[in-house]
Amino acid sequence: MATKATNRGTCQWCGRVQMLPNGRLAKHGYTTKWGFFSGVCRGSGELPLEVSCDLVKQSIVWAGKTHADTLDSVALERASRDRVVMASLYLSGSWNQRGGYTWTSVEVVGYDRIHGAVVVDAATKVRVVGDRDGYAHCDAMYHLETVTLDDAAASLHHRYADYLQAKADQIAGYIAHQTRTVQVWEPRPLFPLK
Ligand SMILES: [Zn+2]
């Protein structure tokens, strides 16, 4: 039978302080502190940092691999002129979802000097409606007299590469933080419930 939490403890994966039913971290989402996580935190159901740092060590291994994979993607994006590319597009909301910018796979099908690349959603082949109306910016192109679709696509690949590079930098910060945590780790008392 599940016992009620009598203490709170710190998540080894994300650093959040949570209830400890049966001595383990309650299920929780990621904080926005590190920027690159999404979904349910992998520290859910695990021992708190006050008791163990084994999961912190695992998080460093995971983040190291993720960091390397992300840098590989950055290099690929910088070299690519593929017409299908990830672009940050404004997608209009629906009754249960707010509109907003999101990275979406698109295909470059045109270019105009006012708006940049003209794209369609690669999955549905429907012209993206939004910012608004299916234009993804590739502003490096404005001064050029003629812009090929390959150039427009390359510009979008560079934008996505910049986004991935920023993510890689966040992951590097996380690795440094988790590494320090392991270096100074020692058992500590749990937080009492308020
Ligand atoms: Zn967590």
* Lowest-pLDDT choice from 74-88, 98-112, 122-136: 122-136
> 30 C-alpha to center of ligand 1: Å?
6
Indicate whether 184 belongs to any domain.
Answer: yes
> 188 C-alpha to center of ligand 1: Å?
18
Taking the C-alpha atoms of residue 88 and residue 75, their distance in angstroms, rounded to an integer, is: 19
Indicate whether 16 belongs to any domain.
Answer: yes
Indicate whether 154 belongs to any domain.
Answer: no
* Number of domain units in the chain: 1
> 44 C-alpha to center of ligand 1: Å?
6
> 76 C-alpha to center of ligand 1: Å?
31
Taking the C-alpha atoms of residue 109 and residue 38, their distance in angstroms, rounded to an integer, is: 31
Confidence of residue 93 (pLDDT cuts 50, 70, 90): low
Indicate whether 123 belongs to any domain.
Answer: no
Domain that holds residue 42: 7-76+168-192
> 155 C-alpha to center of ligand 1: Å?
37
Confidence of residue 32 (pLDDT cuts 50, 70, 90): low
> 10 C-alpha to center of ligand 1: Å?
8
Indicate whether 133 belongs to any domain.
Answer: no
> 25 C-alpha to center of ligand 1: Å?
8
> 43 C-alpha to center of ligand 1: Å?
4
> 7 C-alpha to center of ligand 1: Å?
16
The 3-class secondary structure across the chain, one letter per residue, is CCCCCCEEEECCCCCCEEECHHHCCCCCECCCCCCCCCCECCCCCCCCCCCCCHHHHHHHHHHHHHHHHHHHHHHHHHHCCCCEEEEEEEECCECCECCEEEEEEEEEEEEECCCEEEEEECCCCCECCCCCCCEECCHHHCCCCCCCHHHHHHHHHHHHHHHHHHHHHHHHHHHHHHHHHHHCCCCCCCEECC
How confident is the model over 100-115, as pLDDT tens digits? 777 888 888 776 666 6
What residue type is 170 in one-letter code? Q
Taking the C-alpha atoms of residue 119 and residue 84, their distance in angstroms, rounded to an integer, is: 9
Indicate whether 117 belongs to any domain.
Answer: no
> 60 C-alpha to center of ligand 1: Å?
14
> Backbone phi, then psi, for 87, in 5-degree steps?
-135, 150
> 108 C-alpha to center of ligand 1: Å?
39
Higher pLDDT, 29 or 49: 49
How confident is the model over 160-177, as pLDDT tens digits? 999 999 999 999 999 999
Indicate whether 61 belongs to any domain.
Answer: yes
Are 41 and 16 within 8 A, CB to CB?
yes
> Backbone phi, then psi, for 65, in 5-degree steps?
-70, -45
Taking the C-alpha atoms of residue 38 and residue 66, their distance in angstroms, rounded to an integer, is: 14
> 57 C-alpha to center of ligand 1: Å?
14
Indicate whether 33 belongs to any domain.
Answer: yes
> 139 C-alpha to center of ligand 1: Å?
39
